[in-house]
Amino acid sequence: MAVALSRGLRWGQRALAWVPVLLITAVVLWSYYAYVCELCLVTLTNPVERVAYLAVFHVIFVLFVWTYWKSIFTLPMQPDKKFHISYTDKERYENEERPEVQRQILAEIARKLPVYTRTGNGAVRFCDRCQLIKPDRCHHCSVCAICVLKMDHHCPWVNNCIGFSNYKFFLLFLAYSLLYCLYIAATVFKYFIKYWTGELTNGRSKFHVLFLLFVAVMFFVSLMFLFGYHCWLISRNRSTLEAFSAPVFQNGPDKNGFNLGFVKNLQQVFGEEKKLWLLPIVSSQGDGHSFPMRTLCEARNPLLANEEQWDDDGLDEESQGSNEASSLAIEMET
């Protein structure tokens, strides 16, 4: 009984998660009907103006819907198998009761991986739910119940995690949404005034045209702030999570740790081929597991703790091992 109830609740939560998506879809379908049918086919009398309005509208509409679809249905990327703890290491870790030995096990695994960030207290970034060492900029999403590469946030309006695999699509979706709303508002405004002053009197079309302008302006203002914020994040090469909590490197937290300069930051998201920037086609640089960093000292793996580094600090090999063990703690994600 309890199992069935739990499953029912999970399915209920999954169904409710699609409500915002269905709401946006309903608004988009209505806006298409209101613009094409009520404005262009009923209100407009000039055939040249009608064709021009419809042609530009449909180009923007296709790009808008395409990017929205890609944001929804592009699955977030998860870490490769090499970041997962092997069955043997998992048994060693779970059977070991001494915390210091558990730390050594995780440190030993992390030595083999290209990880350069850690938690605020110097911990190995370990996810106990997914049983893996988290790559740089990877976080666990409690909604999707998976670790997502370069996770930005979980967006309820697309019912998906925004991360490395679909961040470009999400940005293009915001951009074309703005353009869609702006175009509707700009072309509807003249007829809005005519309906408002009584120059045009078609009752049914009047309602759709008036309401269409209000909705377009409302969404445009909301999206303008969101899109502007993400443009600022791109210029600094930060995710939404990193904007609130700076990534921690060997020398401590650094909010600009991945900032390579405006042009390179832009290329990291959109790629080097400018002809693909405005299309919802995969062109982002890298594989989502590792990212170039701002300085060479931050690019050194803090978990390796090689002898040459500690010798420069005047420490012998034994004190190196002691310091490494004391600087690492296990992050247990909840």
At 195-245, the pLDDT tens digits run 888 888 777 888 999 999 999 999 999 999 999 999 999 999 999 999 999
Q: What is the pLDDT of residue 1?
A: 66
Q: Is there a catalytic annotation at residue 155?
A: yes
Mean pLDDT for the chain overall: 86
Q: Distance (Å, rounded) from C-alpha 243 to C-alpha 251?
A: 18
pLDDT value at 314 more than 70: no
Number of C-beta neighbours around residue 92 at 10 A:
16
The active-site residue, picked from 40, 127, 147, 155, is 155
Highest-pLDDT range among 236-245, 287-296, 297-306, 319-328 = 236-245
Q: Per mean pLDDT, which range of 123-127, 171-175, 250-254, 328-332 is the poorest? A: 328-332
From residue 238, how far is each of 223, 254, 320 by CA, in Å?
19, 11, 33
Question: With contact defined as beta carbons under 8 Å apart, do 316 and 161 qualify?
Answer: no
pLDDT value at 71 more than 80: yes
300 token code pair = 């050194």
Q: Distance (Å, rounded) from C-alpha 43 to C-alpha 208?
A: 11
What is the percentage of the chain residues whose pLDDT exceeds 70?
Answer: 87
Q: What is the pLDDT of residue 13?
A: 85
Q: What is the pLDDT of residue 190?
A: 92
pLDDT band at 3 (very low <50, low <70, confident <90, very high): low
pLDDT value at 303 more than 70: no
pLDDT value at 255 more than 50: yes
Greater model confidence, 148 or 202: 148
pLDDT band at 99 (very low <50, low <70, confident <90, very high): confident
pLDDT value at 23 more than 50: yes
What is the percentage of the chain residues whose pLDDT exceeds 90?
Answer: 66
